[in-house]
Copies of this chain bind each other. A is one copy, B any other.
Amino acid sequence: MNEIKIFSPATVANVACGFDVLGFCLDSVGDDMVIRKTDKKGIHITKIEGFDLPFEAELNVAGVSALAMYNAIDVDFGFEIEIYKNIKPGSGIGSSAASAVGSVFGMNELIGRPFNKTQLTEFAIKGEALASKCEHADNLAPALFGGFTLVKSISPLKILEIPSPNDLYATIIHPQIEIKTSESRAVLPKEVLLSNAIAQWANLGSLVHALHTSDYDLISDSLNDIIVEPYRSTLIPHFNNVKKAAIENGALGAGISGSGPSIFSLSKSEQTALKVKNAMNDIYSKTGIKFEIHVSKINTEGVKII
């Protein structure tokens, strides 16, 4: 096999109470990529469609993660990468993670899978770091493993696969505004009240338990973020209205996807997720802000060959 086409999915990181550690994988949104062995050594990005991104491997997220892996293997050939980007950079649904994951997943398949998914995440972290200026894996892990993942630690990298109930669907609205990463970081306090931290870890422990037991009511009860959302939601127009409408229309909960501006909600059925979509649509249609809405089952497979 000399060429492979893959689908690298969008992801939702943080998931309300799981700031910096939890994430889940989507299946209706993602990038397509072609990875091809080539006689010319090195990593060569030969095609980028969808968004204007650098072709130099060292400046491209997919290129940097590919280089990290390429430098760890000893081969007498190189790789070409074609990127068909559907996830807008800066959307808050793991655009850079999809790129970083896609190249290393595809290369690994072409050379007989010498690396496991945690090792692939290690390479992908290098690409993600180019985009976000710090090493984190809360979007990478769900993109690679699928389902819900909990990044227990970065060093050493430890990723846990949390089961997800069958009927769980996400609705995500992506307002087409830009929030600079630096800005979404700057609004966060360095210190938090111990009492708030306790409430947050009670919710996260509870959410992990709820996912294990397919307890939708408890999922709903646990989807609260009292640490980050009060700060970051101020950067997202109409956040509170969207969240309220989602819940009023049957969603189990809602919150900021990654560092925003996307807003995610989770629902118990596709029908409810579509109802939530309509409610979100009603609110944003009146704002004059361009937006996209995605409805997706939780993707338990992650990045895959297509």
A residues apposed to B, CB below 8 Å: 17-22, 150-153, 158, 160, 162, 188-194, 197-209, 212, 218, 221-222, 227
Q: In the complex, A202 Cα to B136 Cα: how many Å?
A: 13
- In contact, B202 and A200 (Cβ under 8 angstroms): no
The interface residues of chain B lying within 8 Å CB-to-CB of A212 are: 208-209, 212
Knowing A190-B193, A192-B191, the reply to whether A203 touches B20 (Cβ < 8 A) is: no
The interface residues of chain B lying within 8 Å CB-to-CB of A22 are: 205
The interface residues of chain B lying within 8 Å CB-to-CB of A191 are: 191-194
The interface residues of chain B lying within 8 Å CB-to-CB of A203 are: 152
The interface residues of chain B lying within 8 Å CB-to-CB of A222 are: 152
Q: Which of B188, B190, B199, B205 is within 8 Å of A205, CB to CB?
A: B205
The interface residues of chain B lying within 8 Å CB-to-CB of A202 are: 20-21, 150-153
The interface residues of chain B lying within 8 Å CB-to-CB of A17 are: 201
- In contact, B208 and A209 (Cβ under 8 angstroms): yes
Task: Jot down 21 A-B pairs with beta carbons below 8 A, ordered by A.
Answer: A17-B201, A19-B198, A19-B201, A150-B202, A152-B206, A158-B206, A162-B209, A188-B194, A191-B192, A191-B193, A192-B192, A192-B197, A197-B197, A197-B200, A197-B201, A201-B201, A201-B204, A204-B205, A205-B207, A208-B208, A208-B209
Q: Identify 14 new A-B residue pairs, CB closer than 8 A, beyond the known A152-B222, A197-B197.
A: A17-B201, A18-B205, A152-B202, A152-B221, A158-B206, A158-B221, A160-B206, A162-B209, A189-B194, A190-B193, A192-B194, A197-B201, A208-B208, A208-B209
* Least CB separation from A201: chain B residue: B201
The interface residues of chain B lying within 8 Å CB-to-CB of A189 are: 194
Knowing A202-B152, A203-B152, A209-B212, the reply to whether A197 touches B160 (Cβ < 8 A) is: no
The winner among A188, A189, A194, A222 for most chain B CB atoms within 10 A is A194
Q: Which of B190, B201, B227 is within 8 Å of A21, CB to CB?
A: B201
* Least CB separation from A188: chain B residue: B194
What distance in Å separates the Cβ of A206 from its nearest Cβ neighbour in chain B? 4
What distance in Å separates the Cβ of A220 from its nearest Cβ neighbour in chain B? 12
Q: Which of B20, B205, B206, B207 is within 8 Å of A198, CB to CB?
A: B20
The winner among A19, A160, A193 for most chain B CB atoms within 10 A is A160
* Least CB separation from A199: chain B residue: B153
* Least CB separation from A152: chain B residue: B206
Knowing A152-B222, A160-B209, A212-B212, the reply to whether A190 touches B201 (Cβ < 8 A) is: no
Q: In the complex, A192 Cα to B197 Cα: how many Å?
A: 8
Q: In the complex, A95 Cα to B19 Cα: how many Å?
A: 36
Q: In the complex, A294 Cα to B267 Cα: how many Å?
A: 46
Knowing A158-B221, A208-B208, the reply to whether A21 touches B188 (Cβ < 8 A) is: no
The interface residues of chain B lying within 8 Å CB-to-CB of A209 are: 150, 160, 162, 208, 212
Q: In the complex, A202 Cα to B222 Cα: how many Å?
A: 15
- In contact, A198 and B150 (Cβ under 8 angstroms): no
Q: In the complex, A160 Cα to B207 Cα: how many Å?
A: 11
